[in-house]
Structure 1
Amino acid sequence: MKTTLRFLLACSMFSHSAHAQSGTVDKNKVMDFFQNQQFDEALSYLLPAVLADTQNIQLLGYLGYANYMSDNTKAAEKYYQDIFNIDSANISAIQYLAIINKNESPDRALQFTRRLIYLQPGKAAHYRSMAEIFRRREKKDSAFLYYSKAYELAPKDYKNGIGLADILIGNKMFLSADSIIQAGLEKDSINIPFLKLWIRSAYEAEDYKTVLLPGERLIRLQETSLSSLTMVFLSYYKLKLYAGCIRVCDFLLDNNFLAENIFFYKAKAWASLKEFSRSNDLLKTCVGLAISKNAEMYYYNLALNYEALKQYKKAVAYYDTAYYLFKNPVMNYNSGRICEINLKNTALAKKYYIEYLSKANPVEADERKAYQYLKTRWGKKDNGR
């Protein structure tokens, strides 16, 4: 589709050229080269002609397009710049110059896009292109203004609605974004970009129930968007609809998304359903995948599950592992608590508590309270050092 659009743009430029076609070039032959994607052959055919007629816009356009489609954007830019120097109102050449420069030279892209707006002030696509440049440069206010103008000019073009709604969500203007999203979905209820924005808007507004409808629609469409469906299974989890959370996680896993957080929330959902063995199997998978601090959270949750199963020695073992890997003194407190209360091993509990007191720097109110209690009972903070 992208190649087709570029080809049509090129054909438009060629057919509207102000200069006559060179007598040494057969336009039909050039079009055949382009349709068959024989761009090297086209270049070999065209170069002698343009050397003989360097001001021929049609030939320059052919060469610009052939180089562009061959990924030689530097050469393409040269030919389109030559056209612009001859005719500063050549729309197709300006469009290509804006496209070529949008990533590497956004300031130049901005200049060419402004020129397009000046030449065609009623064309929404130019305002949208300007908005996209500003959005990539994180100038949200300017992006908002240009997306708004594009939407005003062509509200039925879903790309304008998508761009404006995206900016509105980023600005926490959820109601305004939702009105645009719903207008788009009224025209096309399975428009995937609008469904993704609906999910994001509802999730960021903490309206987790609303997330579910567009989320389920994406699943029925077999759309495997990791970021959107992550918000969906998190919403199910936050709503304590654990079976739904597991189902969405399974959908992602079945589609070969093997991210840690998918296994983790599936594990947490099973634990919430008291299926601790299933949860532990998944948490062990998380541990195997972990390459960062997240592993501490997985060991901690494994320990919590074993506590719930009353397998206290295993719970202590996982708290120990978490501590030795990541040095969080709270893990020693948890081990001491189990040894004291559940295993009735006061000597071992004291060892864990003293280690905790020597390392802890409590911040939260609950932990400070527990810390003071342990300090009073088991000795001063520097004991055991």
Structure 2
Amino acid sequence: MHKQIIFSILCLIPVIVPAQASYNRDRLQQFFQNQEYEQSLAYLKTVPAPDNEQYLFDLGYACYMNEDFKQARSVFTALYQKNGSLPAPQIYLASIHNMNREPDSALFYYKNLTRLFPEQYKYWQAAAAAWYLLKKNDSAIACIRKSYELKPTAGKVVYDYCTYLSGAKQKNQAEQLIDQFLRFDTTYAPIIGKKVNLSFTAGRYSEAVAWGERLRSRDVAPAELLSSYINLLFSYLNLKRPDSVISVYNWLLLQDANNESAAYGAALAFAMKKEYAVSDSLLTECIGFNIQEMAATYYRAKAGNAVAVQNYTRAVALYDTSYYLFKDLLDLYQAGSVLHRFLKNNTRATAYYKRFLQVCPHPKTDEEATITRYIKEFLSPQKK
């Protein structure tokens, strides 16, 4: 990943100032072209080390491509100190700092590159990414805006710009940029994916479906844009189109991209079709994915299926298990509600309701306050 980024940046300008060397650069270039980086490093270590910039760059590059980043950093630092106007050593030094999760150190070089080459949009883009990692959104937006001004047709720049704007809660402006980009280019999949996500978040499910299916028709790998495909699936669910939900889910299975969210959406779709056994099987799969926060939701969905098929005793057991595992007050209320409304067992319902009041003497949310009022009204005749 870092090597690809560096290569794209280095394509902008010459790597180094031409210099005479006491070693055979044609032979070295052959090693590089054939990706024989171990041989290139071995060769450089056998020849006399000339005191020039080209040799230092070649040595640093060979070390970097052999993943000897410590030595590469040392060599590129020496080259930078020798000539601080060369872009190549600064690009590699910034990349090494990024790999070491040191965005502040990487930013030092990116800022210097934007001063030396203010017309090169990729340096502004790289600086923006470093600012974003440092959680400095305003600075990230300022840099990516400059990059966008220099190259508004670059899909990755538009994508990054939208990401930073969304992070700053400027989603309307982000979507305007996307719409403007899509007017002349509908081939860049990450932008289409971003359009799907923004449409879904805004509740425009039909629009999310239109763009999501365009993405799917191109067989863009789900691994790269999984969130967009999940939002496509849930858009169909919100539009009450369970067969389309299941179609997307099955397609994800074929792409080896099944996950917890996809299985949950499919489970809800099968429940919508009253195929509760299949729904329960998928919800069990969801619980297997995650026995933490979201698992309580899956237990409740299974309980909802049990209520739908009038298996009320099983529904109570599922709510009870969910409360035992996750201690969510809502499960106590739901268990009591099923006992009261369907099984007409007010004695057991009262036990669950009283437990709710004991655990929650002072409601903290509107939902808890509403449930508390209901329970107190239910219990009051029994207290007389």
Shorter-chain TM-score category? 0.7 to 0.9
Give the corresponding residue for 2:76: 80
Q: CA deviation at 1:173?
A: 2.7
Give the corresponding residue for 2:42: 44
Candidates 368, 373, 381, aligned match of 2:372: 368
Q: CA deviation at 1:108?
A: 3.2
Give the corresponding residue for 2:107: 110
Give the corresponding residue for 1:286: 286
CA RMSD after TM alignment: 2.9
Identity of aligned residues (%): 30
CA contact (8 A) 1:226 1:252 kept: no
The aligned runs of 1:9-158 (5 Å cut-off) are 9=10, 16-22=16-22, 25-51=23-49, 53=50, 55-104=51-100, 105-158=102-155
Q: 2-side partners of 1:11 and 1:37: how far apart? A: 21
CA contact (8 A) 1:198 1:211 kept: yes
Q: 1-side partners of 2:194 and 2:11: how far apart? A: 33
Give the corresponding residue for 1:220: 217
CA contact (8 A) 2:6 2:92 kept: no
CA contact (8 A) 1:10 1:92 kept: no
Change (3 A) 1:373 1:29: same
Q: CA deviation at 1:150?
A: 0.9
Q: 1-side partners of 2:9 and 2:284: how far apart? A: 54
CA contact (8 A) 2:122 2:147 kept: yes
Q: 2-side partners of 1:5 and 1:348: how far apart? A: 67
CA contact (8 A) 2:267 2:280 kept: yes
> 1:108-165 deviations in whole A, cap 9, x for unaligned?
3222222222222211111111111111111111111111111111222222222212
Moved more, 105-114 or 300-309: 105-114
Q: CA deviation at 1:279?
A: 1.9
Give the corresponding residue for 2:255: 255
Give the corresponding residue for 2:162: 165
CA contact (8 A) 1:209 1:235 kept: yes
Q: CA deviation at 1:76?
A: 1.4
Q: CA deviation at 1:68?
A: 0.8
Q: CA deviation at 1:189?
A: 1.4
Count of aligned pairs between the two proteins: 375
Letter in 1 for 2:67: D
SS in 2 for 1:89: coil
Change (3 A) 1:189 1:379: same
SS in 1 for 2:47: helix
Give the corresponding residue for 2:322: 322
- Flag structure 2 segments of 5+ consecutive residues without an equivalent: none
Change (3 A) 1:323 1:137: closer
SS in 2 for 1:324: helix
Q: CA deviation at 1:36?
A: 1.9
TM-score (norm 2): 0.86
CA contact (8 A) 1:203 1:231 kept: yes
Q: 2-side partners of 1:340 and 1:111: how far apart? A: 66
Change (3 A) 1:372 1:189: same
SS in 2 for 1:102: helix
> 1:235-271 deviations in whole A, cap 9, x for unaligned?
2223333333332233223323342222222112222
Letter in 1 for 2:269: A
Q: CA deviation at 1:329?
A: 5.2
Matched, 1:306 2:320: no
Q: 2-side partners of 1:120 and 1:351: how far apart? A: 73
SS in 2 for 1:121: coil
- Flag structure 1 segments of 5+ consecutive residues without an equivalent: 381-385
CA contact (8 A) 2:104 2:134 kept: no
CA contact (8 A) 1:50 1:59 kept: no
Change (3 A) 1:61 1:354: closer
Q: CA deviation at 1:354?
A: 4.8
TM-score (norm 1): 0.86
Q: 2-side partners of 1:336 and 1:3: how far apart? A: 59
Q: 1-side partners of 2:111 and 2:301: how far apart? A: 55
Q: CA deviation at 1:273?
A: 3.0
Change (3 A) 1:274 1:29: same
Change (3 A) 1:4 1:376: closer
Letter in 2 for 1:257: A
Change (3 A) 1:188 1:324: same
Q: 2-side partners of 1:337 and 1:202: how far apart? A: 37
Give the corresponding residue for 2:343: 343
Change (3 A) 1:375 1:185: same
Moved more, 126-135 or 251-260: 251-260
CA contact (8 A) 2:316 2:338 kept: yes
Q: CA deviation at 1:358?
A: 4.5
Change (3 A) 1:372 1:73: same
Q: 2-side partners of 1:339 and 1:278: how far apart? A: 25
CA contact (8 A) 1:49 1:59 kept: no
Q: CA deviation at 1:277?
A: 2.9
Moved more, 81-90 or 95-104: 95-104
Q: CA deviation at 1:340?
A: 4.0
Larger radius of gyration: 1
Letter in 2 for 1:49: V
